[in-house]
Structure 1
Amino acid sequence: MPSISNINKILTGLILTLCFNTFCHAAVARDWNDVLLDAIRADQARPTIHARNLYHISAAMYDAWCAYEENCQGVFFQEKITSDDISSDQQQAISFATYRLLIWRFNTSVGAPTSIPNINNHMQGLGYDANDTGTSGNTAAAVGNRIAQTIIDMGLNDGSNEINDYINQYYEPINEPLLPDFDGNPDITDPNRWQPLALEYFKDQSGIVLGEYPDFLSPEWGHVTPFSLTPNDLTEHQRDGDIYPVYMDPGAPPMIAGVGDDDYKSGFEQVVEFSGYLDPADGVLIDISPASRGNNDLGTNNGTGRDLNPITGLPYTPQMVPAGDYFRVLAEFWADGPDSETPPGHWFTILNTVSDHPLLEKRLNGVGPILDDLEWEVKTYLALGGTMHDSAITAWGIKGWYDYIRPISAIRYMCDQGQSSDPNAASFAPNGINLHPGYIELITPATIQPGGIHEFLAGIGNENLGKIAVKAWRGPDYIIDPDTTTAGVGWILCENWWPYQRPSFVSPPFAGYVSGHSVFSRAAAEVMTLLTGSAYFPGGMSDFLAPQNEFLVFEDGPSVDVILQWATYQDAADETSISRIYGGIHPTADDIPGRFMGYEIGHQAFNRAMAYFNGSQPAVAVPINQIPVLFLMLSGMLYLSRKKIMKNR
């Protein structure tokens, strides 16, 4: 079992392919991006806030570069500066702009005792005087300081409530907290709405101990000024007199006892089912190489892999591993856990590693001249940063308005109600969970007999007769030592079902619908494709090694080396999305709409970035007019996705 620092090295050292020093170049923007990612890792896991930080700091670097170029347009800073040494002044202006903004944004971070010295040391190491705070004149330092101040001033009025540390201004949860350490979910009021958790102490996805479960993160984020989203994308909703701006509104998710009741139940039942696949000792082996996985149509899991690597012309080599190991590694890797740079930052690490690859030609959109390292960095960072920022605004605007329930709350609620499959059987209730032989069953006098599958669930005096049992990952109570033991899969009371997460985390502190991972990842995959001119990773494949018995954090494993492999950026994005079902964090209804939104955001943000690069006024973004129609098809997509996932197991 690795230490947190070793996990950090593994996650942040995402080895897509070997990068030889003779081919790996990095300019000043890349160095500052690394400093930013380190500061994010040391802070709380706040994907909305850090998507905004990634965008604004990327824009600061781009604007500082663009100020000395003739044919581009700045995002926040439109001045043009003459210089006798453009390259030197660009680097200095970038450094001052980035330094000032980093100090401003991370000075009150929980990681400030580490981050601020790192930021200062980096500035000092570049030979610049951080005490030069002047903004007048056209020295490179003054230009950088003006850019930073412009963005700081804008950020205090962009709808994020930065001045009050981003606290919520009016959102309140409707449900009383769930106590996951206790049985069931007896206090929930509305099973279609988000429910906070009550934990003895909460450790967020970055490993920061907060003392208690935090408030819903950023439910009002739809108010934040976007990069490329337009008024045509916007719908304003009201609840209790408060406005919830929603971009790319997909419509309501499935509701129990309402529209989509069947999809609600089947979606959360699928989460239970997938929880039962997290056992590496079940004897199931699957091929996880691009020969068998990936190549999905948008919004589905219908891919069957690829016959050949189009770059090498050779077949992809099969990789057979225990299915339970693969699914556990997926859930952990894409969760962006301890010391993580959060999902939007994760895609910056992928961009950086792709940029380092010796086979990548740094041609924007794959055409035209090869760009020098600095121009490539500032342009790709702006495009990806703007994409991640718009993804956060879109996903969290929807999360805040629809306020949708998480699996642990929904599953325990339905099981508390009973079963809804057989009106003539025990514990029937319309809002109960559906029974599925083999993984969701009723505890009966027959099943608790000696040798019966529920023999050990009967309880004192057979008190559990009529309750629901599920065959699932058994939860943290079964992990004696995370260095040497696993929880395994077995029959447990459904009222005690637990997602594949740490007991100090359980579930993210915000609503489920839509999946932020799905939006971030698909949007990033699209913009990476557009930036590089190819959907394929350099060389036709990238990979990540999860070492045997070292990678997993809260239980032992994997039992063998598992190498995650992706042919395309879209394959990686789809794997991110499906990982959240195995992790017990999202049903498919959260995932599929997010993929479509991500696709549109990626293209729209790239077009806006290109307008800046070309020096034109920002283009009118492509209207988003198919999301509501696509969502009407969701029931069919849920079926297709579920069917394909089962076939691939």
Structure 2
Amino acid sequence: MPARTSLRTLALALVSATALAVPALPATATEAATEAASTGGPSVVVRWNQALLTAIRTGTLGPPMVARALAVTHTCAYDAWAAYDAVAIGTRLGGSLRRPPAERTEANKAEAISFAAHLAAVDLYPAQRAGFDALMNELGYDPANPSSQAARTGVAACQAVLDHRHADGSNQGNGYADTSGYAPVNAPVVVAEPLTTLNAPGRWAPLTYVNRAGAVVTPPFLAPHWGGVASFSGAAKSLADRVPAPHAYGSAGFRAQAAEIVSGTAALDDRKKAISEYWSDGPSSETPPGHWCLFAQQVSARDRHGVDQDAKLFFALANSVMDAGIASWEVKRDHDSARPITAIRYLYQGQSIPTWGGRTVEGALWTPYQPATFPTPPFGEYVSGHSTFSAAAAEVLRRFTGSDAFGGQAVVAQGSSLIEPGVTPARDVTLRWRTFTDAATEAGLSRRYGGIHFRLGDEQGRALGSAVGTAAWERAKSYWSGRR
């Protein structure tokens, strides 16, 4: 993993508060760590979230699969926890696993959650089992010996979730391979060569480029079947179906949004470049859904959560981003829309246009402000997944905490750019988010600054994400309130 990515992850994990933050936040990252230590450190739920994010960064799953992995793991953890609550019910077995009051101890909750999370994590990331086993051992459990009542409860709760999710339409058992029969209407576009023709310039086209390993690759559309995955709230697909169509290719709206990207990327300053790279969440990262889990970890430390609060928070958050992935991919597949890299090349071929870095380029060779080794994610533009994931997560965090106040920040170090290394930014750039909404808005804008999403894809993605987050929140709350 590049050094800058590691530093970014550390900055997220130890995000500090600023003068704009709510009073409950510590003033520095060091104080945040000290407060966490004084309250016994992160809960067992956060520990498992951290372990899963480590596996995600090492793995190769795309954002919607990562979101599902987070949801499966935290649903297993929640269902195990619910057995030790007086009111909450599990998602699959209801209240049938409920343990008597005498067993509802913190120790039993932690053990049940750990055996459930371990079973889920190994199922989702089998190659990372050694890391999950190591965490079990660190917590004092033998993963090969679920003999206690708490361990058996955790395993039973999780197995019911896994049985359900193995038949949820994701095709996990076959490496999440497409089951829809999708085929692109356009031939691959070689990024290093000028674009001359497209069968359908308003539709998605695969890209051929050299990746970080030095291999020539042409990634297919990622998981075009994902809109058919069973959603947590049951409403993801219907919410996706309400999203209006994007601008038609060749329309005034389409040309205006392309011109906005051209002028916007040509006018990027260091702050906008830093925003684009900070939120990129590309290969070897925790991806957009995991990014918001890092924010939830900070909220947990800020508000001094115990295991009960974290079991519910991460359950609601993870399922909201899973549903955001399902809904946004449904829209992406339905519209199969062109990314800026092909739309702009086709519209501006034969013209000299301005671009980032103070340069001018032949329109047919235009590239977004992205690493050459990952010029644009391999799936349709409309709607923005970043925007949908972020708005859904922000909605849950806002509702769970009872306030939009966040107070987070991160520093993008001088010269740390992967696109313009050693040059950009010219000095440290501090990004601050007074509210969760501010963070979600910036995440959406970052994709426009980076030249991989149009305005409408961002704005409709955020609107969709807010609706998805609301539906997931209501469903999650109904479970821990014992209403289902």
Fold match, TM over 0.5? yes
Decide whether aligned partners of structure 1 residues 338 and 225 sit closer, same or farther in structure 2, where only a CA change above 3 A counts: closer
SS of aligned partner of 1:548: coil
Alignment of 1:446-465 (within 5 A): none
Between 554-563 and 406-415, report the one with greater CA deviation: 554-563
Larger helix fraction of residues: 2
- Residue 405 of structure 2 aligns with which residue? 536
| Equivalent residue, structure 2, for 1:468 | 351
- Counterpart CA distance in 1 for 2:278 and 2:388 is 17
- Corresponding residue SS for 1:354: helix
User: Which residue of 389, 396, 399 maps to 1:520?
Assistant: 389
Contact 2:80/2:158 (<8 A) preserved: no
Match among 122, 130, 135 for residue 117 of structure 1: 130
Conserved 8 A contact 2:71-2:322: yes
Shift of residue 592, structure 1, vs aligned partner: 1.1
Q: Secondary structure at the match of 2:35?
A: coil
In the other structure, the counterpart of 1:128 is 141
Q: For the residues of structure 1 that align with 2:369 and 2:420, how far apart are their CA atoms?
A: 9
Distance 2:404 2:93 in 1: 32
Alignment of 1:348-497 (within 5 A): 348-357=293-302, 360=303, 373-416=306-349, 467-473=350-356, 488-497=357-366
Taking a change above 3 Å as real, the CA distance of residues 342 and 11 of structure 1, as seen in their structure-2 partners, is farther
In the other structure, the counterpart of 2:166 is: 156
**Contact 2:4/2:416, CA 8 A, preserved across alignment:** no
Q: 1:5 to 1:589 in 2, by over 3 A?
A: closer
Alignment CA distance shift 1:14-1:394 (3 Å) = farther
> Quick check: 1:223 aligned with 2:224?
no
| Residue 416 of structure 2 is aligned to residue 550 of structure 1 | yes
Q: 1:154 to 1:377 in 2, by over 3 A?
A: same
Letter in 2 for 1:529: R
Residue in 1 that maps onto 2:74: 58
* SS at 2:405 equivalent: coil
Q: Which residue of 2 aligns with 1:480?
A: none
2:383 is aligned with 1:511? no
The verdict on how the C-alpha distance between 1:166 and 1:210 changes in structure 2, with shifts beyond 3 A counting, is farther
Structure 1 distance, partners of 2:173, 2:462, is: 32
Given the alignment, which residue of 195, 198, 208 partners 2:208? 198
What letter is aligned with 2:211? F
Cα offset for 1:77?
Answer: 3.2
Deviation at residue 610 of structure 1 after TM alignment: 1.1
Work out the CA distance in 1 between the residues paired with 2:244 and 2:467.
Answer: 16
2:13 maps to: 13
Q: Is the 8 A contact 1:2 1:551 kept in 2?
A: no
Q: Distance in 1 between matches of 2:244 and 2:167?
A: 29
Letter in 2 for 1:547: A
Work out the CA distance in 2 between the residues paired with 1:615 and 1:152: 22
For 2:111 and 2:321, the matched residues in 1 are separated by 26
Question: Contact 1:14–1:349 (CA<8 Å) still a contact in 2?
Answer: no
Shift of 1:562: 0.7
Instruction: Give the alignment partner of residue 243 of structure 2, picking from 247, 250, 254.
Output: 250
- State the 1:229 CA deviation: 3.3
The one-letter code of the counterpart of 2:218 is Y
What SS does the corresponding residue of 1:395 show, helix, strand or coil? helix
Percent identity among equivalent residues?
Answer: 33
What residue is the counterpart of 1:426 in the other structure?
none
Cα 1:333–1:375 shift into 2, 3 Å: same
The AA in structure 2 aligned to 1:512 is E
Q: What secondary structure, in the 3-state scheme, does the structure 2 residue paired with 1:23 have?
A: helix
Q: Say if 2:98 is the partner of 1:80.
A: yes
Q: Could you tell me how far apart the structure 2 residues matched to 1:588 and 1:503 are?
A: 23
Q: Is the contact made by 2:208 and 2:216 (CA closer than 8 Å) also made in structure 1?
A: no
Amino acid corresponding to residue 219 of structure 1 in structure 2: P
Alpha-carbon distance, 1:91 to partner: 0.9
Matched residue type, 1:589: L
Q: Deviations over 1:467-516 (max 9, x none)?
A: 3111112xxxxxxxxxxxxxx21222111111111111110011110001
Q: Measure, in 2, the Cα distance between the counterparts of 1:493 and 1:117.
A: 50
Q: Which whole-Å deviations, capped at 9, do the CAs of 1:301-346 have from their partners, x for residues lacking one?
A: xxxxxxxxxxxxxxxxxxxxxxx11011011001113531000110
Q: Indicate the residue corresponding to 2:24 in structure 1.
A: none
Normalising by structure 1, what TM-score?
0.68
CA deviations over 1:587-636 (Å, ceiling 9, x no partner): 1121111111111112221111111111002xxxxxxxxxxxxxxxxxxx
Q: Which moved more, 1:509-518 or 1:548-557?
A: 548-557
Encode CA deviations 1:94-118: one digit per residue, 9 max, x unaligned: 11111111111111xxxx3xx3221
Structure 2: runs of 5 or more not aligned: 18-27
Does residue 214 (structure 1) correspond to residue 219 (structure 2)? The answer is yes
Query: Residue 337 in 1 paired to residue 282 in 2?
Result: yes
Using the alignment, how far apart are the partners of 1:550 and 1:336 within structure 2? 15
Q: Does 1:328 align with 2:273?
A: yes
Give secondary structure in 1 for the equivalent of 2:193.
coil
Q: Provide closer, same or farther for how the CA distance between residues 506 and 14 of structure 1 changes in structure 2, counting only shifts above 3 A.
A: farther
Q: Which amino acid aligns with 1:503?
A: A
Instruction: Kindly provide the CA deviation profile for residues 449-478 of structure 1, in whole angstroms up to 9, marking residues without a partner as x.
Output: xxxxxxxxxxxxxxxxxx3111112xxxxx
Q: CA deviation at 1:213?
A: 2.5
How many Å separate the matches in 1 of 2:392 and 2:317? 9
Unaligned runs of 5+ in 1: 236-245, 279-323, 363-371, 417-466, 474-487, 618-649
Query: 2-side partners of 1:154 and 1:2: how far apart?
Result: 37
TM-aligned CA distance change 1:82 to 1:554, over 3 Å: farther
Partner Cα separation in structure 1 for residue 378 and residue 205 of structure 2: 9
Structure 2 residue matching 1:123: 3-state secondary structure: helix
Distance 1:553 1:45 in 2: 23
Q: Secondary structure at the match of 1:167?
A: coil
The alignment partner of 2:326 has SS state of: helix
Deviations 1:18-59 (A, max 9, x none): 242442141111111100111111112511001011111111
CA distance in 2, matches of 1:75, 1:197: 41
C-alpha contact 1:177 1:187 (8 A) present in aligned 2? no
Asked if 1:35 is matched to 2:51, the reply is yes
Distance 2:418 2:190 in 1: 25
Q: Is the 8 A contact 1:191 1:413 kept in 2?
A: yes
